[in-house]
Structure 1
Amino acid sequence: MNITEQLRRAERNPPAPFSVPLTDGGDLTVHRWLRILPAKRLVAQGELAGKPVLAKLFIAPAAKRHCVRELEGIEAVLGAGLASPAIISQGALPGGGQYLLTEFLERAESLETQWDALSHEPAGSEPALRLLRLALTGIAAMHAKGLVQRDLHLGNFLMHDGALQVIDGDAVEVLSQGQPITAQQAEENLAIFFAQLNPGWDAWVEQLLLAYLETNPHQAIHPENLAKLIGAKRQLRLENYLDKSLRDCTEFAVKRDWGRFEVCRRSDVVELERLLDAPDQCFTQQPLLKDGGSSTVALASTGVREVVVKRYNIKNAIHWLKRFWRPSRAWHCWLSAHRLQFLGIATPTPLAMVEQRNGPLRSTAWLVTEYCSGVNLLERFGTDGDRTPTEEEAAALLRLFGQLFHARISHGDCKATNLLWRLEEIVLIDLDGMRFYETDSSAWRKAWEADRARFLRNWPAGSPLGMWLDSQLPRSAGL
């Protein structure tokens, strides 16, 4: 079996270490796989003639076209005088594949890795602003040379020995040979970048553009145009992400057959395997967090951490007839939680979802989420509402309700017990009734006002907390 076919059949589990014969007579030794797109492309840290290299192995039927595009992109970046890992070797693999080797920059760190380390920082924090300004100088330098990255994100930039490096030639496109791209082209490309940040960063876009314009002052960027483009591209990214959360891909592992559908975050598959094989076992433990007719909730241990398992029950035949033809409530909550997280709204991380099926007909379903140890707002503020929020509490309340309002999301059951205080933020739980509205419709306004009123009813209307909330929480117009 040739190398290309062997790597295709390995799917997500290619062997390592692994030896790859090259067309020039040398041998590439793969030490560690960095990224795997099954039967398409593999990226690895390797060694050639005693020197570390970054290897990209293209194994799809169109391998040569993809390799050439990657090579041309890197050459365009280097030809523009921008820093990028040097090309070492390129050629064919036995069986129709292609390889491309570039310099491996030891001690280099992706801006995406640095950004993930700042995930706890609020929008507008100085460390996060510094990182985004750095990325924007790199984007501006590319734009000034007529280049764009169609798949523009923080992972396309590395810091190495104090210098910013551009990587991923596959996404590089030459729009204007050696000349700055137009303002419209720049806005389109910048919108792709900013759309990957949660909406809380939108207020900082104009300030961040100053860093871009210092490096590429050739075109005037119109903030109004950019804001519209960011909104449109973020919505498209959200739709694509929600679709991805239900199919087998790099981030999610899906198993399906006639009697069952299961999706799990790929990073958690090993940890949750035993739990997902028999999710009802955790309900034999006492006490349960909830033991109701429509759902049962338990706290379970994976041996690594505690998780919450929620089973959506089918109460009887009539209930099944009402439910079997549509996605389960677990399915709905899985998507709702991913929507919230994508938008930067705090909710326990959804880890896995299972539906019991009979072909296309759905029955009992289970949802597994991380366990959130926060205190609910009824306990934190008390039932009397005899105090107004502290500065930190006020900021968290206004941030959460502002995020929900601007995203046109209604929770559907806005009891204080469904909002938890954790580490100076408010976490939204119990998403069974959550709905998203595409337009500013009367249905959306009624749903928002119902949420608002339900939250206010947690405390007496004349209490200090009740009056403060009524004066501060957003109101929909036209009602």
Structure 2
Amino acid sequence: MNVTRQLVAYGRKPPTPLTVPLEAGSELQITQWLRILPGKRLVGCGEWQGQLVLVKLFIASAARRHWQRELNGVKALREQQLQTPELLASGALPGGGFYLITRYLEGARSLQQNWQALPDTSPANPDARAIVQRVLRALAQLHRHGLTQSDLHLGNFLCWQDDLYIIDGDAIQQHSPGEPITAAEAAHNLGLFFAQLVPAWDEQVELMLIDYLSLNSERALNPEQIQQSIDSGRAWRLRDYLGKAVRDCTLFSVRQNWWRFLSVQRKDSKALTTLLAAPDEPFTRQPPALKDGGSSTVTRVSLADRELVIKRYNIKSLAHWLRRFWRPSRAWHSWLAGHHLRFLDIATPEPLAMLESRFGPFRRRAWLVTAFCPGQDLCELVPADGSCLPSLEQQSALLALFTQLQRHQISHGDCKGTNILWAEGCFWLIDLDAMQAHQRPASWQQAWARDRARLIRNWPADSQMACWLEQALPNLSADTGIRG
């Protein structure tokens, strides 16, 4: 029996329970799958020789290399007496592939689970700070013993019986076992960790490192090197995440044929199946509730216990189609823009699905499905004559939003007050069709000037609101010759 070939054939849905034969007549009983990377790696828990175990099955063409790295990483942690689940067995699967079995820590919770359970994951929350401090103490121990972890997400740290366990041996790198790593290596690895957090944590780095330095002060750390590593790590993560948003993976379900391209968040794919099979149906059973324009039509839909928004991007004429068919649709652009903003912790309704109607490589109409944001727009909060200002809380939140956009050099492209919604104590951006992340300062400054001017034009030039915005929003054009 070729076990590996069968495991590959199961794809994303290997059955449970499943018996996996090992060498010398031994068997492994899988009762639950924890992570599935089709055709590459399967992670599950089950029973082996009367013990509750966690098993990793490596089934890709490069299985030996990944298995060996995992094995080496687990052994390195154990040799340095760092907490990681006990290695029980490893070896080759019949017919190719490899396995690795460790003790299963029943009842353990990952720091990612603890993090997601928090109502607030900003630096202002002591519980969030405690989780970050716990990781930094674990990293200090790693670095002090000459090791680093290259996949530093919170899911790779398990809490069990008051101890913190490091998992994912594949990401453990040995630099100088038994001796502290260099300051540059430490700065790079710490930067990779902080890059997993939203940018609001960047200002807390030096303060948070007190815990790290209490356990590993062998090398003097350079804050600038850490920030450079944060910036490069976050940029890489963003590119990787946006790439995943348009390909089939753990987070996104992507289906493509001659007639259409569909990307949907995997967690929502089942709930949205009927809606995405007939995306025009909500527009026919009721008048569009939010917008009925020529280039796009927007309506609101109730689905089970959720309120959603569907935006359909129309093709107005043959000439319009000839301008659009050869490039990604506005739905595609808005889909990526929404995920970009949420990655940076800038408030925007959650993008749930994107669908393009196609004829082979040629694009036609497209649809975008997002969560509904029940807020008031800025033009509702401030009278049309601009005779008063929003509340102090709202003023602060509006400036905070534009500070975030300025920091990441992002322009909205259509900065009308109706595209800025007040909800849950902050301002949310909607209608992201023209959003752009700029690489060149000159391009960014021009776009900022346009956004700034468009926002101010929502109210008369001599009004209180317009004058406040003129004073409060930086005028980058003053130094560049751009008219704001």
Query: What range describes the TM-score normalised by the shorter chain of this pair?
Result: over 0.9
Residue 255 of structure 2 is matched in structure 1 by 255
Counterpart of 1:353, as a letter, is M
1:272 counterpart residue number: 272
Alpha-carbon separation, structure 2, partners of 1:342 and 1:155: 17
Q: Give the aligned partner of residue 322 of structure 1.
A: 323
2:403 is aligned with what amino acid?
A: G
Residue identity matched to 1:72: N
Residue 478 (str. 1) matches residue 480 (str. 2)? yes
Equivalent AA in structure 2 for residue 229 of structure 1: S
Gaps of 5+ in 2: none
Q: Secondary structure at the match of 1:447?
A: helix
SS of equivalent residue, structure 1 residue 249? coil
Which residues in structure 2 correspond to 1:215-294 (within 5 Å)? 215-288=215-288, 289-294=290-295
In the TM superposition, 1:166-181 aligns within 5 A as: 166-181=166-181
Q: What is the alpha-carbon distance in structure 2 between the residues aligned to residue 389 and residue 118 of structure 1?
A: 30
Equivalent AA in structure 2 for residue 92 of structure 1: A
How big is the shift at 1:471?
Answer: 2.3
For residue 119 of structure 1, report the CA deviation from its aligned partner: 6.3
Which residue in the other structure is 1:433 paired with?
434
Is the aligned partner of 1:297 residue 2:298? Answer: yes
Alpha-carbon separation, structure 1, partners of 2:314 and 2:387? 39
For 1:431, give the aligned amino acid.
L
Residue 2 of structure 1 corresponds to: 2
Q: Kindly provide the amino acid, as one letter, of the partner of residue 264 in structure 1.
A: V
Q: Which amino acid aligns with 2:205?
A: V
Q: Superposition pairs for residues 91-106 of structure 1, below 5 Å? A: 91-106=91-106
Matches within 5 A, 1:103-182: 103-118=103-118, 120-182=120-182
Query: What is the CA-CA distance between 1:452 and the residue it aligns to?
Result: 1.2
Q: Do structure 1's residue 379 and structure 2's residue 345 form an aligned pair?
A: no
CA contact (8 A) 2:295 2:316 kept: yes
Describe the SS at the equivalent of 1:270.
coil
Assess if the C-alpha contact under 8 Å between 1:67 and 1:100 holds in 2: yes
TM-score (norm 2): 0.95
- Corresponding letter in the other structure for 1:319: H
Query: Over residues 74-110 of structure 1, what are the superposed CA-to-partner deviations in whole Å (9 max), with x where a residue is unaligned?
Result: 1101111111111112122222121111111122111
Mean alpha-carbon deviation: is it higher for 418-427 or for 377-386? 377-386
Q: Give the CA deviation at 1:304.
A: 4.2
Measure, in 2, the Cα distance between the counterparts of 1:248 and 1:176: 38
3-state SS of the aligned residue for 1:115? helix
Shift of residue 2, structure 1, vs aligned partner: 2.9
- Report the counterpart of residue 198 of structure 1 in structure 2: 198
- Distance, in Å, in 2 between the alignment partners of 1:123 and 1:361 is 46
1:100 aligned counterpart, secondary structure: strand
- Answer with 8-17 or 241-250: which moved more: 241-250
Instruction: State the distance in 2 between where 1:119 and 1:381 align.
Output: 30
Structure-2 residue corresponding to 1:53: 53
SS of 2:441 mapped into structure 1:
coil
Aligned-partner residue type, residue 75 of structure 2: E
Q: Aligned partner of 2:257: which letter?
A: D
Letter in 2 for 1:436: A
Q: Distance in 2 between matches of 1:72 and 1:419?
A: 51
Residues matched between the structures, number: 478
Q: Which amino acid aligns with 1:468?
A: W
Q: Where does residue 417 of structure 2 map in the other structure?
A: 416
The alpha-carbon distance between structure 1 residues 261 and 6, as it changes in their structure 2 partners (threshold 3 A), is same
How many Å separate the matches in 1 of 2:131 and 2:475?
35
1:206/1:445 CA distance change after superposition, 3 Å:
same
| One-letter identity of the residue aligned with 1:315 | K
CA distance in 2, matches of 1:381, 1:125: 32
Query: Which residue number in structure 1 is paired with residue 407 of structure 2?
Result: 406
CA contact (8 A) 2:3 2:96 kept: no
The structural deviation recorded for 1:187 is 1.1
1:57 is paired with a residue of what secondary structure?
Answer: strand
C-alpha separation in 1, matches of 2:120 and 2:387: 31
Structure 1, 195-204 or 33-42: larger mean CA deviation? 195-204
Q: Deviations over 1:413-433 (max 9, x none)?
A: 111111111110111100111
Determine the structure 2 residue equivalent to 1:360.
Answer: 361
Which secondary structure does the structure 1 equivalent of 2:269 belong to? helix
Question: 1:85 & 1:113 partners in 2: Cα distance?
Answer: 18
Please tell me whether residue 455 in structure 1 is matched to residue 467 in structure 2: no
1:29 aligns with 2:33: no
8 Å CA contact 1:401, 1:474 repeated in 2: no
For 1:17 and 1:385, locate their aligned partners in 2 and report how far apart those are by CA, in whole Å.
66
Q: Structure 2 CA distance, aligned partners of 1:26 and 1:227?
A: 50
| Other-structure match for 1:20 | 20
String of CA shifts for 1:377-418, please: whole Å, max 9, x gaps: 222233344443434323321221111011111111111111
The alpha-carbon deviation at position 338 of structure 1 amounts to 1.1
Pairwise CA RMSD: 1.6
Q: Distance in 2 between matches of 1:19 and 1:26?
A: 10
Q: Kindly tell me: are residues 404 and 62 of structure 1, through their superposed partners in 2, closer, same or farther at Cα, counting changes over 3 Å?
A: same
Moved more, 261-270 or 21-30: 21-30
SS at match of 2:331: helix
C-alpha spacing 1:223/1:174, structure 2 compared with 1 (3 Å): same
After TM superposition, give the deviation of residue 475 of structure 1 in Å. 2.9
Contact 2:188–2:225 (8 Å) recurs in 1: no
Distance 1:94 1:301 in 2: 51
CA distance in 2, matches of 1:225, 1:63: 35
Is residue 81 from structure 1 mapped to residue 78 from structure 2 by the alignment? no
Give the 3 Å change call, closer, same or farther, for CA 275–136 of structure 1 in structure 2: same
- Where 1:279 maps in the other structure, the secondary structure is coil
Contact 1:348 / 1:370 at 8 angstroms: preserved in 2?
A: yes
Q: Which moved more, 1:330-339 or 1:117-126?
A: 117-126
TM-score of the aligned structures, taking structure 1 as reference length: 0.96
Between the aligned partners of 1:351 and 1:308, the Cα distance in structure 2 is: 10
1:271 is paired with a residue whose SS is coil
8 A Cα contact 1:271 1:304, kept in partner: no
Q: Unpaired runs of 5+ in structure 1?
A: none
Q: Does the Cα contact within 8 Å between 1:146 and 1:178 map onto a contact in 2?
A: yes
C-alpha distance in 1, partners of 2:120/2:319?
46
Against the structure 1 CA distance between its residues 420 and 120, is the aligned structure 2 distance closer, same or farther, given a 3 Å change threshold?
A: farther
> Which range is displaced more, 387-396 or 50-59?
387-396
Q: Is the 8 A contact 1:402 1:474 kept in 2?
A: no
Q: Secondary structure at the match of 1:29?
A: strand
Instruction: Output the CA distance in 2 between the equivalents of 1:137 and 1:314.
Output: 56
Q: Does the Cα contact within 8 Å between 2:192 and 2:233 map onto a contact in 1?
A: yes
Q: How far, CA to CA, are the matches of 2:233 and 2:450 in structure 1?
A: 30
- Cα shift readout 1:345-398 (whole Å, capped 9, x = no counterpart): 111111111111111111111111111111212222333444434343233212
